[in-house]
A and B are shown apart, each in its own frame.
Chain A
Amino acid sequence: MRRAALVVSVVAAAALAAGCGGSGSGSGSGSASGAPVSGGTLRAGIPDNPDYLDPGLSYTNEGWEILEATNNGLVTFKKAAGGAGAQIVPDIAAAMPAVTDGGRTYTFHVRPNVMFSPPVSRAVKPSDFKFSIERLFRVDSGGLAFFTGIQGANAYAKTRKGGISGIVANDAKGTITFHLSQPDGTFLDYMATPFAFVLPTGTPSKDISTLPQWRIATGPYEISKYVPKQQLVMTRNPNFHQWTPDSPAGHLNSISVQIGITPEQSVNEIADGQLDWYFESVPPDRLTELKARYPSQVHLFTRNNTTYFSMNERLAPFNKLAVRQAVNYAISRPALVKIFGGQGTPTENILPPGFGSAFQPHHLYPHDVQKARELIQQAGAEGASVTVWGHNTDPTPKAVQYMAGVLNSIGLHATVKTEDESVYWPTIASQKGDPQIAFNDWNEDYPESQDWLDVLLNGEHIVNVGNNDASNTNVPAYNRMIDAAKRMPLGPARNAIWAKLDELYMKNDAGWAPFMNRQWPKFVSPHLHGLVFNGTYFELLPSMWLSP
């Protein structure tokens, strides 16, 4: 589940991808000053282990930031900020694919000279891509939903035998062809996500995060050391040779990530010159002070994000619509934004404002605690026990406490459960974890509304592990609307359906309590330059450089 960071120039990005107009919002590059200097070690910090260092499994911004620097796919979002960062360009593919059969067939030619890092040290082959996509189904990847539109994928998901018939790799000719069951306007967006990054054939069908012999890179860096809870080191991939300007070679010699640095600690260490960069945003309570003391080192970016509480529709009392609606009435969205240090804008919508005409703000739930109490009484849910889940990275615990306090005030009996952030996201994405109500946030995988409504709310994609539909929302009529919209070309007509679905979900299902479109303030070393925020990959490590 994509949480934490994500940024950017979302509005412009969406305008490009979704074919909509819209006013631009900040994106961009950070403190670029002068020509980039090569060399040096970036001293980075992260509060906890990244979820996975496996492209097939990682689904957090931290994981994707790392993997973007180490691995590649057939295509990529341009390694740029702003609207340019939403553009899909060839990566290991020699050119953009030939699209035939009415948008159902995509044929790529694979570059012959892209090498895997040691110990594999051989050229990437088309069959490696076929293997990597099929592996997603064998490891129960959270990105499965992106690839079930390939012919034979659903059958392979059940049998896991014989391969996916709709992927045809020809190593001799250097081509790989994807046959889709139906046209999908965002297929190339899926192929640009880290889920489609290539791994060598033979990679085990299990998490390779702690298996250095299988953490094989194609990008400018490789993960040379990973000691969970201690340190992660990225050094240059000796087999990397830049093949396109869209696959930058990187300026830094190495990146040393210290694991276990709290947000508060990161601010102090960056101010003291002990740290250059931190994966997470500035603690909300420090932002005002930092802006005043270090104005040139603070960067604030808008992001395509929705921060929300998901209510599990399979579990009492949230299996009742009235209870879910009551929660939406009871919360004060501006209050929750304050808990996040004012780093965002309140929202009732599922979709973020960056998605152009797909974003039509609605106001179905004015703050009304009395009405919420009445709904709870009508539902017969008074006194029902509820556990509010959240992770332990500030200020989420405060938001979780706020929600628990609100639930208590409307007649439920709420307690709080917080978990270490490294285990929180996989836990709530598992039906075994089964939280009743959980803090959640979502950042773009690719710049189109489908990434929200299809991935997060289409009940056809509910799985036991790596489940993105945290509310277990499954409304067949809406599922069909999503499926129909997915087949449409990008543009206003498609966006109109997304906007309608946004309202329908919130009005008639209310499995979410969205409250904020979050922003992303960063505090970095004065020596760090080349900050580029990409909507999908977030901060691009290969673009960063250190001044002497």
Chain B
Amino acid sequence: MTVEIEAVAVPGGRGGLALAWRRLRRNPAALVSAAMLIAILLACFPLAPVFVHLACNHGPNDQNIQGFIHQGGHRIPVVRADGTPIGPGLRTCYMLGADANGRDLAVRILYGGRISLFVGITSALLCVAIALVLGLVAGYTGGIVDSVVGRLLDLIWAFPVYLLAVALATTLAVGGLSVGPLHVSSSSLAIPIVVIAVVFVPYVARPIRGQVLSLRRMEFVEAAVATGAGPMRIMLFELLPNIASITLVMLTLIVANNILVEAALSFLGVGVPVLTPSWGNIIEQGYSSIVTAPALTVAPGIAIMVTVVALNVLGDALRDALDPHARIRIR
């Protein structure tokens, strides 16, 4: 993944945000994407239990292999004697069909969305938070600190993202993560979140460092120094607001990317714990039945695709909206 950001300072302020919002409203693709994301979030979080109630009260992990549904006067097994699960149909129970364990696919996709979005968003927040600290400190202080941080980022950067993520996740999947007195179980969601966050830190920290390097030479920073402001105050109150818009854009793109990585890791069996439904897990568990029950793979795949496309379009739109050069085009 590459994140391209022009090293142009973007002064903050209500005027800038208002202008950005105005530009965003004029971008129909962005509005559609935002609406889709809101719909997905609503469906996965507050509305999922409502759907469960409608869908015969089967939770995401309820196995109903021996169950039946009644449709059109017929009694249909959820899983046939030969192991073939019921397919999609116009009904509330098993709308998208069931998997081999008799679990309702639609319900699992909604609850799996919770996990995938949660992992994607929290890992992106963690990644951006780490990257902000490293980028700000390295870019502002320079010298040996910059060199050390730079080499650390280079070290992570040197590994292919997925290879590093799989290696880390596999290692942590054996004994969990122990840092001092803190122990995180190998079955904890924190493991994929930390792994995904760490592997993308260089991709976010480097552009932030570049931004900070250019900003630190600007007059408003020199003025703050002249008034006696310390490094911490300058970083938090002068530099941070000026890289907020760029960070927001990157956050959107990183969320989309992290959802894909979560799906990949879960598909490989080293992501979200098997018993916790996530879009990646659902695909992995349905993959072996792709010929006879394609919905098990296609439906969560579509959910990932729609979410990622919406996030990417919104991220692009945010970038356009917050780009200072765009102001000229609008006028």
Contact = CB atoms under 8 A, between A and B. Distances in A.
B285 A289 contact: no
Task: State the main secondary structure of chain A at its contact with B.
Answer: helix
Interface string B185-210: 00100000000000000000000000
Nearest to B293: A285
Contact of A404 (B84, B275, B291): B275
A446 B269 CA distance: 37
- Chain B contact residues: helix, strand, loop or mixed: loop
A342 B81 contact: yes
A288 B82 contact: yes
Contacts of A338: 65-66, 79-83, 100
B66 A334 contact: yes
B274 A418 contact: yes
A406 B66 CA distance: 13
A354 interface: no
A392 B269 contact: yes
Contacts of B61: 405, 408
Contacts of A406: 63
Contacts of A286: 291-292
B288 A335 contact: no
Interface string A11-37: 000000000000000000000000000
A285 B291 contact: yes
A546 B329 CA distance: 73
Interface string B48-91: 00000000000001110110000000000001111110000000
Contact of B83 (A264, A284, A401, A408): A284
B122 interface: no
A81 B289 CA distance: 32
Taking residues whose C-beta sits less than 8 angstroms from the other chain, chain A's interface range is 20 to 34
Interface in B109-141: none
A404 B293 CA distance: 23
A148 interface: no
B292 A341 contact: no
B101 A402 contact: yes
Contacts, number: 87
Contacts of A90: none
B273 interface: yes
Given A339-B65, A339-B83, A342-B82, A398 B275 contact: no
B328 to A, nearest CB: 56
Contact of A416 (B83, B273, B291): B273
Contacts of B285: 397-398, 401
Interface in A139-155: none
Interface string B282-302: 000100111111000000000
B41 to A, nearest CB: 28
A335 B292 CA distance: 19
Interface string B31-50: 00000000000000000000
Contacts of A398: 100-101, 285
Central interface residue in B66, B101, B293, by most chain A CB within 10 Å: B101
B269 A288 contact: no
A289 B100 contact: no
A499 interface: no
A335 B83 contact: no
A405 B61 CA distance: 7
B101 A339 contact: yes
Contacts of A285: 83-84, 100, 288-289, 291-293
Contact of B63 (A264, A335, A392, A416): A335
A405 B63 contact: yes
Contacts of B101: 339, 398, 401-402, 405
Name the residue among B80, B82, B102, B291 with the largest chain A CB count within 10 angstroms: B82
A415 interface: yes
Contact of B288 (A289, A395, A404): A395
Nearest to A405: B63
A284 B100 CA distance: 10
B187 A339 contact: no
Interface of B: 61-63, 65-66, 79-84, 100-102, 187, 269, 273-275, 285, 288-293
Closest 10 CB pairs of A and B: A341-B83, A335-B65, A394-B288, A342-B82, A285-B292, A416-B274, A285-B289, A284-B83, A415-B187, A342-B81
10 contacts: A264-B290, A285-B100, A285-B292, A288-B84, A338-B80, A342-B80, A402-B65, A402-B101, A404-B275, A406-B63
Given A286-B291, A339-B65, A405-B61, 9 more contacts: A284-B82, A284-B83, A285-B84, A285-B288, A335-B102, A338-B83, A401-B285, A405-B275, A408-B61
